[in-house]
Amino acid sequence: MLNETALKGTLLTDEPLAKYTSWRVGGPAQRMYIPENKADLIEFIAGLPDGEPLYWIGLGSNLLVRDGGIKGTVINTRSRLKEMYLMDSERVYVEAGVPCAHVARFCSDLGLTGAEFLAGIPGTMGGALKMNAGAFGGDTWGIVDRVEMINPRGEVALRDHHEFEVAYRSVKGLDQEWFLSAQLKLAKGDSDASQQHIKALLEKRNASQPTNRPTCGSVFKNPPGDFAARLIEACGLKGYAVGGAVVSEKHANFIENRGSATAVDIEALIEHIQTQVQTQFGISLQTEVCRVGEKA
């Protein structure tokens, strides 16, 4: 049973999630736990009642929380689970709450190459591991050696890469387990060249994406042999709005919150885009963003 007096972290109730998501929308979490560290989180999960629904949030990107909020417990790893260190000459330990951009810089500073693409992912390692996040031709599981998992009973296990079925923006084999950390295997290289690579990637990202607007990152997966943004733009949907949600004029695979959007607006716009692309091109766009919670 959960012993709240023994907890080192912070337990909140009816906590509005809009302030934790990059889209700035979402109803309240029934409960939110902000752990002090990994050990505290393990103890907290071990003490939860059987069957308690668990959700995880890091930087809140790639996430649409519906307006009715989340029933159950949300684990908030933002600024928590942030340990990162060099394990040996080519392997780096990264906890789930570390922002991907920090991982890219850390590895680059050490003269390790292969993680530069993480600089273009606006989330944490936990989220990147869950969806095999990628950018600029690289993807997360291409550099993963092992991962540390936790189950609903608070039991922790170290699992190898080959135990998961990994594909484009997809990871199967989780089976009610969540990521605590990862061991990344990288190659030795030139630190200066790596840092220049990161700089070029970020310049490309800033030039092509609405990085200064409330978005979730890319909304749709690219269909085989094509790009979601090209299809959406070809449908004439750049600038199309539903309530406070609008298709970005800068990059058609981004939906911006103009300040007054609700989750209902965003979800309706997602469905409108899917309908138009299906009607005009016969292609079913699949969402990359994870939709959770109850409708209001």
Catalytic pick among 43, 148, 267, 288? 288
169 is catalytic: yes
Catalytic site includes residue 155:
no
Which of 80, 148, 169, 181 does the annotation list as catalytic?
169
User: Which phi-psi region, left, alpha or beta, contains residue 252 (left: φ > 0; alpha: ψ -120 to 50)?
Assistant: alpha
Among residues 108, 181, 218, 248, the one annotated as catalytic is 218
**How many whole angstroms separate alpha carbon 229 and alpha carbon 278?**
14
Could you confirm whether 90 is annotated as catalytic?
A: no
Q: Catalytic residue positions?
A: 169, 218, 288
